[in-house]
Structure 1
């Protein structure tokens, strides 16, 4: 009896395994039938999504072409460079075009068993192309300013003149913080120290935290030439060239270049003759460009309609004598006769630091009274020429 029961159980187990295998076959057939029935719809869906991907890629290509055209034109803009984010975006677009080309090849092979994977891949790329298109709008522009500006301090010597010179320096500095002042004229006779003062102002501007981004120094050549001055300014601000011969067109280019920089200080040293800044191409607004120049004549400042003019006065007799003796570097007191000649030389230098320093250095270690007399005669001739 027991053996018969076990035999029945064995038969039932075999039948169950057989039925399970049969059911697996049936499920497989049903899945195959479902795939066959839905295959046209799947194929149609993939084709539509692939077509959508191609359309969105065409839009992205158009944006890429526009950006490349703008970047190509920017090659002729002085001191502009493309942003790094633009370069990264262009590389990403190139990679995405290669990826999509590979996907299109796979779709073209018509391997039906890959269709579900391809469809998901196409969907992901549609989304990525849309993101790239949005990123490529660049609302802040494609380019960065790469303006040239001299940040090197000029070599200077200590200023002379004591309180009077400090007062001039302070007044000039106040002009830079006055929003109403765009042009400053520094005038005084030759050798009075105008250039030295401006050199110290230049160094203070580039070393301080003042709200001026670009500081340019130009020594004006003589005789004054607007064409030459335009070239000198263009070279200093970093323009590669002014390829125009017409002064008005050159001025327009220079004006645009300086205006784009904003908060610029242009220092023109040793201007002998007046000119119209607009004729050169120098902006007039304070937030665009502050112009400061040195000249020997107050008439230059007046004819150029400068709002602020500052006179640099010669040294006082006391300041002149102190400077002369300092530069003479005495190791022992002067002989009385030579001391009288020295005082005469100091007076004949007219309080001009450049001549006081030169004469003192020339007479250093000189004990021969005849050489002192010759120096006095030379100083007298210089004073006569200066008066003329």
Structure 2
């Protein structure tokens, strides 16, 4: 026959009463302290995530989940609301039924914020290193191409020249500029130049800078947000490529673009050694470079 422990029931009732009927001051203070700590950790956490993304890493699902939960807690402004209610509370003899309501909310939120704080270590943000893309993927091209060997060798030599940063192929439509560009891209000498990224992008008429930035970022596996400005995207590309050797092929460009907004400007790296950034373009108009 089952027995009922009336004493344990009383103990549970007393424990609950001691929480919900007590004056809430100490719990309100604890919640405010922990909420401020969580805000500080979230700021540091976001900084660590941004740094990881700039270095070509992706944040794990677990990290993203904690970030969303912490941001939700902060955005609800529970601490501020409780602070206002507590200051407005008028207790008769130091207590009123408002104490029950405040204690109930504070107890729940204290548990939630302490759990969030215990789950994160800002000094060790969990990220997963993306597999580096291959430096270059051979482009499909007809094997029956003839008459381009001289130009091919000339331009490959210019790519090898440390003083050349932008190389242009100009001419009328249909004369084989894209074919020549592909031959250069696939040339065995290019693989010997130790470029960490060899990127092929088709610009075409009407192509906007933002699309070029997006296409380049995808090829080097850098995350860009859709709502970022051109300058923000340029900053991310520059920071990501500043210590990398990169060869960019831009086929069929019509517009004028600024190299630094593609992260391809020649600047000294932080270690004092200038990295190789080369751009080879094809365009129809035999005019000044469409890059500056």
TM-score (norm 2): 0.52
Deviation, structure 1 residue 79: 2.5
> How do residues 178-327 of structure 1 correspond to structure 2 at under 5 angstroms?
178-204=161-187, 208-260=191-243, 262-285=244-267, 287-301=275-289, 304=291
Answer with 241-250 or 142-151: which moved more. Answer: 142-151
How far 1:241 moved relative to its partner? 2.3
1:91-240 superposed matches below 5 A: 146-149=131-134, 151-158=136-143, 160-162=145-147, 165-204=148-187, 208-240=191-223
Report how far residue 291 of structure 1 moved.
Answer: 0.7
Which secondary structure state, in structure 2, belongs to the residue aligned with residue 168 of structure 1?
helix
Select between 217-226 and 72-81 the one with higher mean Cα deviation.
Answer: 72-81
Q: What is the CA–CA distance in structure 1 between the aligned matches of 2:156 and 2:56, rounded to whole Å?
A: 29
Does the C-alpha gap of structure 1 residues 282 and 73 become closer, same or farther in structure 2, counting only changes over 3 Å?
Answer: closer
Cα deviation code 1:128-152 (max 9, x no counterpart)? xxxxxxxxxxxxxx99785334532
Q: Which has the higher helix share?
A: 1
TM-score, with structure 1 as normaliser: 0.40
- In the alignment, what sits opposite 2:26? none
Q: Give yes or no for contact 2:248–2:279 (8 Å, CA) kept in 1.
A: yes
Deviation, structure 1 residue 181: 0.6
Shift of 1:206: 8.1
* Unmatched segments (≥5 aa) in structure 2: 1-44, 60-126, 268-273
Residue 244 of structure 1 and its aligned partner are, at CA, apart by 4.7
SS in 2 for 1:287: coil
Report 1:25-104 matches (<5 A): 75-80=52-57
Distance in structure 2 (CA, Å) of the matches to 1:73 and 1:160: 46
Cα deviation digits, residues 58-106 of structure 1 (max 9, x gap): xxxxxxxxxxx79766543453489xxxxxxxxxxxxxxxxxxxxxxxx
TM superposition shift of 1:269? 0.5
Contact map agreement 2:266 2:277 (CA 8 A) in 1: yes
1:156 match: secondary structure: coil
Larger Rg: 1
State the alpha-carbon separation in 1 of the partners of residues 261 and 195 from structure 2: 24
Q: What residue ranges of structure 1 are gaps of 5+ in the alignment? A: 1-68, 83-141, 306-388
1:319-373 alpha-carbon deviations (Å, 9 max, x no partner): xxxxxxxxxxxxxxxxxxxxxxxxxxxxxxxxxxxxxxxxxxxxxxxxxxxxxxx
How many Å separate the matches in 2 of 1:247 and 1:205? 35
State whether residues 151 and 206 of structure 1, in contact with CA within 8 Å, keep that contact through their aligned partners in structure 2. Answer: no
Over 3 Å counting, the alpha-carbon distance change for 1:71 and 1:246 in structure 2 is closer
From the superposition, tell whether residues 79 and 146 of structure 1 become closer, same or farther in structure 2 (CA, over 3 Å).
farther
**Secondary structure, counterpart of 2:167 in structure 1:** strand
1:234 offset after TM fit, Å? 1.1
Deviations 1:182-208 (A, max 9, x none): 111111111111111111111125873
Distance in 1 (alpha carbons) for counterparts of 2:197 and 2:152: 20
